[in-house]
């Protein structure tokens, strides 16, 4: 990085040019990310509904959601947040475990693995809204292949869209299916950077695959796992497309995520934009916490 120092002592002309490169992007972000975020905060302090005049009400929306003071806690906010927490924990854990396992499988020098690897990554790039629809077909109670397979195995049919717990898992499975390849490609990249001689010397002591993984591979890929875990956490808080098309949030609202609830509140039906903005802002705070940890971890990379 020392040559960066050398390059930074530019002339006056250079100093002006460097801002010209950066400015268009900075202006864009100010206009379309930062400004909306400030706007959103302002909205969250009002009782704005589409078609009505907004009135400043301070932090009343927040008090209503969180049940502070005289207000009762917004039960739906709590229940949808708990489903989001279910995905936050369940989906993150499952994708990490499966993704690491798949990476371990593909980190062998065997024929055809490379071709198969490309196929394994396919779900990651499909539109989540389309995958939700795919789930509708696959999880169908009467004719879906998943129930057919379960019945064939003697496990019986599951009412994926009628019973709350199976519906929650249907959403989670679809998300896990989409995101496992993400963990897979990141962890595989990390595994492939582990030097061979580490294994060679370790093999003098143990022949067990598990021991090799536990004492060599795992410590070496731990930083990548940490990074990918934080990214998965952030993404899992944003899930809306899959339940939107797979379950419509049902049965009842048991598969409605927190963002889905904010979306519904502000942008469907009564358009309670003020309240929806407050709901969204509470999540922004969580996202800022998680992303700060993330950027703290990866800061050297961007210097």
Partner 1 sequence: MAAKTDSLPLMEPRSAFTRASLSDRLIIALAIICTFIAFSPFGYAVLTSLKSEWKDGSIIPFLQFEPNLLNWQQEFGSGGAETIKALRNSTLISLGATAVATTLGTLAGYGLARFKYGIGNRNLVSWFLSQRFLPPVATLIPFVLMFRDLKLLDTLPGMVIVNATFTLPFAVLIMRDYFADLPPELREAALVDGASEFTTFWRIALPLARPALVASTLICFAFAWNEFLFASVLANRDWKPYPMLVAGSDTVRGIDFGFVTTRMLIAVTVPVILSLMVQRFIVRGLTFGAVKG
Q: Which of residues 146-175 bind partner 1 (CB under 8 A)?
A: 148
- 48 burial (CB, 10 Å; 0-12 / 13-18 / 19+) is buried
Residue 14 interacting with partner 1 (CB under 8 A):
yes
Q: Choose, by CB under 8 A, the member of 63, 66, 85, 124 that binds partner 1.
A: 124
Q: Choose, by CB under 8 A, the member of 143, 153, 154, 156 that binds partner 1.
A: 143
**DSSP state, 121?**
T
**DSSP state, 214?**
I
CA–CA separation, 247 and 227 (whole Å): 31
Reading phi first (left if > 0) and then psi (alpha if -120 to 50, else beta), residue 252 is in: left
Nearer to partner 1, 22 or 69 (CB): 22
- 66 burial (CB, 10 Å; 0-12 / 13-18 / 19+) is middle
Contact letters (x/-) for partner 1, 63-102, by CB under 8 A? Answer: ---------------------------------------x
CA–CA separation, 67 and 217 (whole Å): 47
Cβ atoms of residues 239 and 87 within 8 Å: yes
Residue 40 interacting with partner 1 (CB under 8 A):
yes
Q: How far is CA 9 from CA 58, 187, 216, in A?
A: 49, 39, 44
Cα 211-215-216 angle, rounded to 5 deg: 105
Interacting positions 184-203 with partner 1 (CB under 8 A): 185-186, 188-190, 192, 196, 199-200, 203
Which range, of 23-31, 63-71, 86-94, 164-172, touches partner 1 by CB under 8 A? 23-31
Contact letters (x/-) for partner 1, 217-236, by CB under 8 A? Answer: -------x--xx--x--x--
CA–CA separation, 229 and 97 (whole Å): 11
Residue 240 interacting with partner 1 (CB under 8 A):
yes
Residue 301 interacting with partner 1 (CB under 8 A):
yes
Nearer to partner 1, 120 or 158 (CB): 120
Residue 56 interacting with partner 1 (CB under 8 A):
no
Shortest Å distance, C-beta 90 to partner 1? 18
Nearer to partner 1, 40 or 47 (CB): 40
Nearer to partner 1, 58 or 285 (CB): 285
Q: How far is CA 54 from CA 111, 251, 264, in A?
A: 65, 34, 19
Chain centre distance of CA 190? 20
Contact letters (x/-) for partner 1, 250-279, by CB under 8 A? Answer: ---------x--xx--xx-----x--xx-x
Cβ atoms of residues 281 and 41 within 8 Å: yes
Residue 130 interacting with partner 1 (CB under 8 A):
yes
Which range, of 63-71, 74-82, 86-94, 287-295, touches partner 1 by CB under 8 A? 287-295
Which range, of 74-82, 87-95, 163-171, 207-215, touches partner 1 by CB under 8 A? 207-215
């Amino acid at each position: 990085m020392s040559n960066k120092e050398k390059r930074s002592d530019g002339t006056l002309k250079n100093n002006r040019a460097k801002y010209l490169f950066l400015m268009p992007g900075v202006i864009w972000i100010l206009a379309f990310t930062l400004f909306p975020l400030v706007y959103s905060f302002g909205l969250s302090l009002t009782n704005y509904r589409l078609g009505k005049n907004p009135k400043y009400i301070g932090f009343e929306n927040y008090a209503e959601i969180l049940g502070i003071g005289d207000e009762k806690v917004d039960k739906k906010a709590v229940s949808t947040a708990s489903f989001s927490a279910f995905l936050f924990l369940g989906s993150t854990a499952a994708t990490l475990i499966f993704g690491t396992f798949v990476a371990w499988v593909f980190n062998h020098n065997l024929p055809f693995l490379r071709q198969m690897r490309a196929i394994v990554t396919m779900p990651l790039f499909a539109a989540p809204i389309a995958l939700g629809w795919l789930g509708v077909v696959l999880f169908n109670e009467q004719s879906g292949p998943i129930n057919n397979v379960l019945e064939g195995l003697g496990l019986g049919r599951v009412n994926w869209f009628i019973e709350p717990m199976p519906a929650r898992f249907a959403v989670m499975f679809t998300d896990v299916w989409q995101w496992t390849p993400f963990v897979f490609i990141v962890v595989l990249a990390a595994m492939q950077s582990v030097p061979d001689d580490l294994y060679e010397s370790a093999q003098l002591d143990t022949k067990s695959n598990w021991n090799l993984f536990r004492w060599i591979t795992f410590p070496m890929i731990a930083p990548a796992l940490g990074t990918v875990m934080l990214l998965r956490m952030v993404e899992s808080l944003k899930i809306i497309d899959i339940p939107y098309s797979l379950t419509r949030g049902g049965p009842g609202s048991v598969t409605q995520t927190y963002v889905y609830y904010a979306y519904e509140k502000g942008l469907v039906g009564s358009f309670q934009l003020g309240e929806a903005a407050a709901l969204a802002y509470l999540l922004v705070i969580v996202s800022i916490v998680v992303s700060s940890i993330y950027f703290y971890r990866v800061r050297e990379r961007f210097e």
